[in-house]
Amino acid sequence: MIAAYRTGYAPARPETAVTTLQIGKDDPRNQTDLVAYLADAVNEEVLAGRIAEADVDPADVVSMLAARSGGVWVYLKYEITAVRVGARARSCSARSSLRTRRPRRCGG
């Protein structure tokens, strides 16, 4: 079993041996896992459809989100959800939103 938690708070430990392995956001293993996750995510039906509507190469989306996230997984959860539900397309063009290197407010 793998569990993640914030530094400084260890959840209750099960009645088994426990090993704590700290992996920082800049750790190459974290970056590799993050990119692999994104490479799979962009092929999910709804997300792939949104990316296709925006006329953006899925590989570019993977690179952009990996760079934007800075290795922080929770950022990806919110960003992928925003693209999946079309939140980007409501306030500005999906193409420009997906290509923006930094999050920005659209339409204003």
Predicted pLDDT of residue 96: 52
Residue 62, SS3 per DSSP: helix
Predicted pLDDT of residue 84: 87
Better-scored residue on pLDDT, 11 or 1? 11
Predicted TM-score (pTM) of this structure: 0.68
Better-scored residue on pLDDT, 24 or 105? 24
Better-scored residue on pLDDT, 72 or 20? 72
Better-scored residue on pLDDT, 65 or 92? 65
